[in-house]
Amino acid sequence: MTKIVKIALSAALMLSVGAVTASADSDKGLKLYSKKLKSACGISGAAMAGKHTQGEWQELNKSGNLAKEIKTICPKAADEDLDAKFLPHYFDFFFNFASDSGNVPSC
Amino acid sequence: MRKIVTLSAVAFLSTMAFADADTQKQIDELKKKIEQLEKANKAQDVKISKVNAQSAMDNIKFDVDFRTSYDNLRYETANGAHYSNSSLYSNRLWLGMGYAPTENMMFKGQLSVNKAFGANYNQRGAGFDMFDWVLNENLTDDTIKLREAYWLWSFDTGKIGWTVSAGRRPATNGYLVNLRDDDQAKSPMGHIINMEFDGASAAMKLDKYISGMYFKLCLGRGLTNANSRFDNTGYDFATDDSDLDNTDMVGMIFQPYDNGQYSVMTKWYRGFNVPGYKADFSGLESFGDMDGMAISFKTDGIGDGINDFLDETVLFASFAASTTRPNAGQPMLGSTDDETGTSFWVGTQMPNLTGGKFGLEYNHGSKYWRPFTYGEDTMIGSKMAVRGNAYEAYWTQPLIKDVFSMQIRYTYLDYDYTGSNAFFGYGGTPMKISEAATPTAVETAQDLRVYFRYRY
């Protein structure tokens, strides 16, 4: 046990020094939504994503109006929760479960 | 000379004026055309969206989760003997499906294959390989089996949301154990329930009053004693009193709070007529009822906005207990008394420099600890069921977006007592490893796993 564990632990600890977000992630978007927006929006993540079609979310994201749209739907959302670093994850989640996506959220 | 220059300038300017007017006209026309095209484009987008929605409503949506794993297993017995497998390879396919024709009614399902590399002779399909509780978690053969299939109906009455569901419900990869499994948490609490079930559930959501609050009633049937088809008696599918009783389970999940960062989850259940080995190990019989409860806390992020590392760090702690309720004259876990076992579990998951996640977990179980975690995804046996200590470290790394990932995981189990992964009869009798009747009892077990996983 000892040798393998030591190698594995050292490698893992060396890597876990700081946080870097590699790429947008729908699961992470859902997690962030629950954590930062759900109470301000007052609706579930699936209901929020279902507010627009995939094309509409894409257009909002491309035109840089995603944060503005979230704020329109959820006026109580805090500005820091709409930070640029969260938006790609929100977008991935909203796009995945958009009203015309046909994807069924977990229950 | 000056006259000629003046005349030329006038001629040039008047030409420019005409040219400007012409260009402006062209620009206006182009603008109009662009507006028309934009309108047409928007109309097409709406049409495409309608077609997408129509297509989605008409078809079941599939998703694929395919994992190739390498496991290096090693066991050490009380008398110092070693058993190992340094090259266990396996493929696991989950073919998920979902269909929601209306907002309130959905169907979800999952087909599964979980198979070791290579053919085998009289090894797969023997013993409990094909037992229904763990059918899709064991390495079996290349046949496709049903892992989940259920309908879920949701509706609101005022501010209260309700769901009702029945079928082969998701009862594995539950709360907290999903972290190391790199899955979204399913219904049960991973500390005490992790196995497949046919059953039903009904939930009442109160999150309009208190963030995340809900109650969920769960019902399940673990064993049926219905006769088989074309039974010799002729009583096809009638209950058979000479066989094991029906094993049923009733449970209540209560989540008092979850704001996305801090969450508390509780569960209580009772399993009725749970099976176990007879004293002579000649077969199974029903021994009595089994109770269990757990309370788990999780913080998903430490503080708020201090830094990215703390924002993405998860900490959790969980406590659970199980109590036997033996029938008269039928000792459960080797005792005719009601015996209580306890377990605690702590863990963390941290982000790392490579955009992956690193996790550490530890759990300890007491002498009579007995959860229903037979389906846990650990080759060497459920770590949550350990009567002793379990240590685990893992590194999960996305390789190509959220589509392709890998994990390296090391699990070490150090048993204090025997019977950790057994059923509820004599097989589950806890004996100190050092005093075990059989010196071949497993004292420690370890598994080093590396997997690559495709999900889309």
Inter-chain touch A12–B53, beta carbons under 8 Å: no
Mutate to test the interface with A, among B353, B357, B399 (most CBs of A within 10 A): B353
- Report the number of distinct structural domains present in chain A: 1
Domain shared by B197 and B166, yes or no: yes
Residue B96 has pLDDT above 90, yes or no: yes
Amino acid at position B359, single letter: G
Alpha-carbon span B75 to B421, nearest angstrom = 14
| Nearest-Cα residue of chain B relative to residue A37 | B260
- Bridge partners of B25, per DSSP, are none
Contact list in B for residue A40 (CB cut-off 8 A) is none
Q: Which of B208, B398, B448 is the closest to A4 by Cβ?
A: B448
Mean pLDDT confidence for B380-395: 97
**Mode of pairing for the β-strands spanning B314-326 and B284-300:** antiparallel
- Ranges of chain A with pLDDT below 70: 1-24, 105-107
CA distance A66 to chain B (A): 18
Domain shared by B41 and B108, yes or no: no
Domain shared by B200 and B344, yes or no: yes
Q: Which of B99, B154, B350 is the closest to A16 by Cβ?
A: B350
Residue B160: predicted pLDDT: 94
H helices, E strands: number in chain A: 7, 0
CA distance A76 to chain B (A): 16
Percentage of chain B exceeding pLDDT 90: 62
Among candidate residues B275, B281, B439, the one with its CA nearest the CA of residue B370: B275
Domain shared by B91 and B218, yes or no: yes
Whether B154 contacts B104, CB under 8 Å: yes
Residue A20: predicted pLDDT: 42
Residue B58: predicted pLDDT: 74
Which phi and psi angles does B127 have, rounded to 5°?
55, -130
Average pLDDT, chain B: 90
Domain holding A51, by residue range, is 23-107
Contact list in B for residue A19 (CB cut-off 8 A) is 307-309, 311-312, 350-352
Q: Looking at the domain assignment, is residue A101 inside a domain?
A: yes
Residue B435 to residues B79, B279, B431, Cα–Cα distance (Å): 11, 19, 7
Residue B394 has pLDDT above 50, yes or no: yes
Residue B290 has pLDDT above 60, yes or no: yes
Positive or negative CA dihedral for A30, A34, A39, A44?
A: positive
Inter-chain touch A54–B300, beta carbons under 8 Å: no
Inter-chain touch B308–A38, beta carbons under 8 Å: no
Q: Looking at the domain assignment, is residue A6 inside a domain?
A: no
Contact list in A for residue B307 (CB cut-off 8 A) is 19
Domain shared by B41 and B125, yes or no: no
Q: Looking at the domain assignment, is residue A18 inside a domain?
A: no
Which helix (H) or strand (E) segment holds residue B26: the answer is helix B2-58
Burial of B270 (0-12, 13-18, 19+ CB in 10 A): middle
Instruction: Count other Cβ atoms within 10 Å, centred on residue B57.
Output: 13
Q: Which of B61, B258, B408 is the closest to A8 by Cβ?
A: B408
Whether B181 contacts B359, CB under 8 Å: no
Domain holding B20, by residue range, is 1-59
Residue A15: predicted pLDDT: 47
| Nearest-Cα residue of chain B relative to residue A27 | B184
Mean pLDDT confidence for B77-99: 94
b/e code B196-219 from CB counts within 10 Å (16+ = b): bbbbbbebebbbeeebbbbebebb
Residue B434 has pLDDT above 70, yes or no: yes
- Report the number of distinct structural domains present in chain B: 2
Q: How many CB pairs under 8 A join A and B?
A: 136
Q: Looking at the domain assignment, is residue A78 inside a domain?
A: yes
Q: Looking at the domain assignment, is residue A1 inside a domain?
A: no
Residue A16: predicted pLDDT: 45
Domain shared by B321 and B339, yes or no: yes
Alpha-carbon span A97 to B14, nearest angstrom = 60
Tokens of B381: 């046996």
- End residue of a domain, out of B59, B75, B100: B59
Which helix (H) or strand (E) segment holds residue B181: the answer is helix B177-181
H helices, E strands: number in chain B: 3, 18
pLDDT tens-digit map of B252-284:
999 999 988 999 999 999 999 999 888 888 888
Residue B52: predicted pLDDT: 75
Inter-chain touch B358–A15, beta carbons under 8 Å: yes
What is the three-class DSSP state of B315?
strand
Mean pLDDT confidence for B403-417: 96
Whether B275 contacts B286, CB under 8 Å: yes
Mutate to test the interface with B, among A36, A85, A100 (most CBs of B within 10 A): A100
CA distance B297 to chain A (A): 16
Chain B within 8 Å of A96 (Cβ-Cβ)?
no
Instruction: Categorise residue A25: left if φ over 0, alpha if ψ from -120 to 50, beta otherwise.
Output: beta
Q: Looking at the domain assignment, is residue A11 inside a domain?
A: no
CATH number, residue B294: 2.40.160.10
Q: Which of residues 19-78 of A touch B (CB under 8 A)?
A: 19-27, 30-31, 33-36, 38-39, 42, 53-56, 59
What does the longest C-alpha to C-alpha distance in chain A come to? Answer: 56
Q: Which of B50, B61, B307 is the closest to A103 by Cβ?
A: B61
Provide the ipTM. Answer: 0.71
Q: How far apart are the first and last CA of chain A?
A: 40
Instruction: Tell me which of A11-15, B59-63, B296-300, B444-448 is least confident.
Output: A11-15
Residue B452 has pLDDT above 90, yes or no: yes
pLDDT tens-digit map of B162-206:
999 999 988 899 999 999 999 989 888 999 999 998 999 999 999
Percentage of chain B exceeding pLDDT 70: 95
Banded pLDDT at B5 (limits 50, 70, 90): low
Contact list in B for residue A22 (CB cut-off 8 A) is 354-356, 398
User: Which residues have a Cβ under 8 Å from the Cβ of B7 and sit 6 or more positions away?
Assistant: none
Tokens of B351: 């982000």
User: Which residues have a Cβ under 8 Å from the Cβ of B24 and sit 6 or more positions away?
Assistant: none
Q: Looking at the domain assignment, is residue A104 inside a domain?
A: yes
Contact list in A for residue B402 (CB cut-off 8 A) is 23-27
Mean pLDDT confidence for B59-87: 94
What is the three-class DSSP state of A102?
coil
Banded pLDDT at B304 (limits 50, 70, 90): confident
Whether B386 contacts B183, CB under 8 Å: no
- Report the Cα A27 to chain-centroid distance in Å: 7
- End residue of a domain, out of B20, B35, B59: B59
Which helix (H) or strand (E) segment holds residue A69: the answer is helix A66-73
Q: Looking at the domain assignment, is residue A2 inside a domain?
A: no
